[in-house]
Amino acid sequence: MKAMILAAGRGERMRPLTDTVPKPLLKAAGKPLIEYHLEKLAAAGVREVVINHGRMGRRIEEALGAKFRGMEISYSAEGDEPLDTGGGIFHALPLLGRAPFILVNADVWSDLNYALLPRTVDAHAHLVLVPNPVHHPDGDFALKDGCLSLDGVPRHTYGGMGVFRASMFEECSPGRFPLAPLLRQAAARGLLTGELYQGRWMDIGTPERLQALEEMLCK
């Protein structure tokens, strides 16, 4: 199974830390954020990883190289104007192929075991939901019998992890576009499945949250 790590964001909320370092290479407990994902993907048996990148992307390639613990790493370069989450995945599809692939946001951290994610999905995607964090109290989707919808309560937050199929992007065109509207459209059509993960999870979107992760991991 292949995987993709979304690592092309500019990290504006992380400034000034990201003025000189790409956000995925920021460290928590002495380790770059992206390495936490790579370690878990390797442990789950993933053998090919695609990493997209934008501004300062060469720094990511130089830091990680072409292999990590037996995994082959390919890079989907987007240049100084990133294609956003949806456009970035669409741009990387030639490297990912048609089989389901694991998708992970580089700027989240969790102790989820990626080996427990499904290897096949009948829907467009299978999302990992998490309890709503303080900064996103209203959530994204309701979960009932393994299916996601836009209606119903309680609502949970998409945790930036899941298994996707290329079919999610069949009606898309090259260029910059976000992933969130595609997910909402798929949910409205009954084409998203999911699960609620209640283990440790953090969205590392600000210096304060990075510091919180540092403190948690160093306890």
Tens digit of pLDDT for each residue in 59-94? 999 999 999 999 999 999 998 888 999 999 999 999
Tell me the CB-side half-sphere exposure of residue 152, using CA atoms within 13 A: 12
Asked if pLDDT for residue 169 goes beyond 80, the answer is yes
Determine the structural domain holding residue 63 and report its residue range.
2-217
The pTM of the full predicted model, rounded to 2 decimals, is: 0.95
Could you give the dihedral angle defined by the CA atoms of residues 17, 34, 159 and 172, in that order, rounded to the nearest 10 degrees? 100
Give the count of domains, the chain.
1
Query: What CATH number does the domain containing 166 carry?
Result: 3.90.550.10
pLDDT at residue 72, rounded to an integer:
98
**Does residue 57 contact residue 22 with C-beta atoms inside 8 Å?**
yes
Q: Is there a contact between 205 and 34 (Cβ–Cβ < 8 Å)? A: no
Q: Are 14 and 27 in contact (CB under 8 A)?
A: no
Lowest mean pLDDT among 6-15, 163-172, 204-213: 6-15
Instruction: Round the CA-based radius of gyration of the chain to a whole number and report it.
Output: 16
Residue showing tokens 């946001």: 105
Model confidence pLDDT, tens digit, residues 22-42: 999 999 999 999 999 999 999
